Amino acid sequence: MGEHAGSQERIDYRRAAFVAAYSNTRALPPSTMPEVAFLGRSNVGKSSLLNALFSRKSLARVSATPGKTASINFYEADGVAFVDLPGYGFAKVSNAERAAYAALISGYFEDERSHNLAVQLIDIRHDPTPLDLESVEALRDLGIPFVVALTKADKLSRSKAFAARTRDARLLELAPERVIVTSAEKGDGMRELRRAIAEATT
Ligand SMILES: Nc1nc2c(ncn2[C@@H]2O[C@H](COP(=O)(O)OP(=O)(O)OP(=O)(O)O)[C@@H](O)[C@H]2O)c(=O)[nH]1
Ligand SMILES: [Mg+2]
């Protein structure tokens, strides 16, 4: 757990606001509040999931073009920082850009700060990719508490979504409660995700 632990049991997500963007981890100011970071491959739905949590259409920038989030973007809601990270693994950006994004992600997690929770996003329609597995291993190695959010559940039937949860929990060696089925489009999983965030930041 991070050193800054909020005392609130519930977070008022309506208070969400953009704070700052950093394209260099050396520029990151020290944590002043608990942090919840969203990571996953490019286009998996990180920015969309943040907007769904905040019940806002476009506070975090979303686009049909992967590689949209090119900096570490901080939002704040009610004394908790929400961190939108660039995606990893996008083939169509240059090697230099891919390396820069990877450095931002690892730099953020290796920085000494209030890493209360990481939300690892994985597309519900596919098994975790090798990079997803690497990412989960890195979080484990760094001792960062995390949950998995399976994204875009609206693209599968309920029964297939449930099966994916069981399968991914097994593949990632996680208790099924730590794998949350979400849809930014339909709002599935928001209550469960908010509960995990509240528990990690209280
Ligand atoms: N159907 C459906 N589409 C989604 C959902 N979440 C995201 N998308 C779509 O997936 C695409 C990528 O979403 P983003 O939120 O920008 O993904 P990201 O992970 O932030 O992408 P990068 O910033 O490029 O790493 C967009 O076209 C979204 O509309 C969802 O729950 N359901
Ligand atoms: Mg994004």
> Is residue 103 situated within a structural domain?
yes
State the residue for tokens 């942090």.
Answer: 35
pLDDT at 30 (0 to 100):
96
pLDDT at 57 (0 to 100):
79
Nearest to 176 by CA among 198, 142, 197, 150: 150
Q: Is the Cβ–Cβ distance between 41 and 131 less than 8 Å?
A: yes
Residue 88 belongs to domain spanning: 13-23+30-201
> Is residue 130 situated within a structural domain?
yes
Walking along the chain (202 residues) 10 residues at a time, the average pLDDT comes out as 52 92 94 97 93 88 68 94 92 84 94 97 97 97 98 97 98 97 97 96 92
> Is residue 126 situated within a structural domain?
yes
Q: Please report which ligand is nearest the Cα atom of 50.
A: 1
pLDDT at 93 (0 to 100):
80
- Number of domains comprising the chain: 1
> Is residue 114 situated within a structural domain?
yes
Mutate to test the pocket of ligand 1, among 23, 46, 48, 129 (most ligand atoms within 8 A of CB): 48
- What span, in angstroms and rounded, lies between the C-alpha atoms of 88 and 40? 6
> Is residue 8 situated within a structural domain?
no
CATH number of the domain encompassing residue 83: 3.40.50.300
- Whether the CB of 70 sits within 6 Å of ligand 1: no
pLDDT at 7 (0 to 100):
43
Q: Please report which ligand is nearest the Cα atom of 42.
A: 1
pLDDT at 97 (0 to 100):
85
> What is the reported pTM?
0.93
